[in-house]
Amino acid sequence: MALLALSGCASTQNELPPPAKIIPYSLGHLPSDVKVDGLDMVDIQLALSDRNLYLADNGNIKMVSTAQCPLDISAHRGDFRLPESSASAIIEALKDNYDSVEIDVMQLKDGTWVNHHDSQTGRATVYYTGERHKLKQMSRQQYANLKLRDKKSNTLLDVRPITAYEAFNAFAIYRRSTKQQLNVEIKSAANGHDLAELDHMLRLTIGLGGYYYSAADLDVLEKLRGINPTVYLGFVQGAHPSSVEKLRSDLRKATQNDAFYQDKQNHLELAGKYGTKRYRSRYQNYASSSGLNSIIKRIGPNSGLHLDIRSYMQNPSVVTSAKRYGMKVYTYSINGTDYHQSKLKSLSRTKLPDGIIVDSTPYQICQKLFKGAQPSKRYQPVSLTGQYIASLPMDADFDRFNEMLGYQQEGYYISLNDGLKAIANNQTPAKTTQASTKHTAPLSNPHAFPTIVDEPLETSVSKTIILTLPSSHNDR
Rounded alpha-carbon distances, angstroms, from residue 348 to 231, 306, 319: 30, 19, 12
CA separation for the pair 430, 154 (Å, rounded): 48
CA separation for the pair 61, 348 (Å, rounded): 27
Please choose, from the candidates 98, 60, 55, the residue with its C-alpha nearest in 3D space to the C-alpha of residue 77: 98
Rounded alpha-carbon distances, angstroms, from residue 434 to 216, 301, 377, 427: 72, 79, 41, 21
pLDDT, position 67: 87
Number of Cβ atoms within 10 Å of the Cβ of 325: 16
pLDDT, position 464: 57
pLDDT in tens, the chain (476 residues): 444 443 444 444 556 666 788 999 999 999 999 999 999 999 999 999 999 999 999 999 999 988 889 999 999 999 999 999 999 999 999 999 899 999 999 999 999 999 999 999 988 999 988 889 999 999 999 999 999 999 888 889 999 999 999 999 999 999 988 999 999 999 999 999 999 999 999 999 999 999 999 999 999 999 999 999 999 999 999 999 999 888 888 777 765 555 444 444 444 454 444 444 444 556 889 999 999 999 999 999 999 999 999 999 999 899 999 999 999 999 999 999 999 999 999 999 999 999 999 999 999 999 999 999 999 999 999 999 999 999 999 999 999 999 999 999 999 999 998 889 999 865 433 343 343 334 434 434 444 444 445 556 555 555 556 666 665 544 44
Q: Find all residues with CB under 8 Å of 293, minimum gap 6, and list them.
A: 325
What is the gyration radius of the CA atoms in the chain, in angstroms? 28
pLDDT, position 154: 84
pLDDT, position 469: 63
Q: How many CA atoms lie within 13 A of 321 on its CB side?
A: 18
SS (H, E, C) the chain: CHHHHHHHHHHHHCCCCCCCCCCCHHHCCCCCCECCCCCCHHHHHHHHHCCCEEEECCCCEEECCCCCCCCEEEEECCCCCCCCCCHHHHHHHHHCCCCEEEEEEEECCCCCEEECCCCECCCCEEECCCCCCEHHHCCHHHHHCEEEECCCCCCECCCCCCEHHHHHHHHHHHCCCCCCEEEEEECCCCCHHHHHHHHHHHHHHCCCCCEEEEECCHHHHHHHHHHCCCCCEEEECCCCHHHHHHHHHHHHHHCCCCHHHHHHHHHCCCCCHHHCHHHHHHCCCCCCHHHHHHHHHHHCCCEEEEEEHHHHHCCCCHHHHHHHCCCEEEEECCCCHHHHHHHHHCCCHHHCCCEEEECCCHHHHHHHHHCCCCCCCCCCCCCHHHHHHHHCCCCECHHHHHHHHHHCCCCEEEECCCEEEECCCCCCCCCCCCCCCCCCCCCCCCCCCCCCCCCCCCCCCCCCCCCCCCCCCCCC
CATH of 66-357, picked from 1.10.10.10, 3.40.50.360, 1.20.1730.10, 3.20.20.190, is: 3.20.20.190
pLDDT, position 462: 55
Residue 107's DSSP bridge partners are 113
Rounded alpha-carbon distances, angstroms, from residue 131 to 124, 126, 134, 145, 146: 14, 8, 10, 12, 10
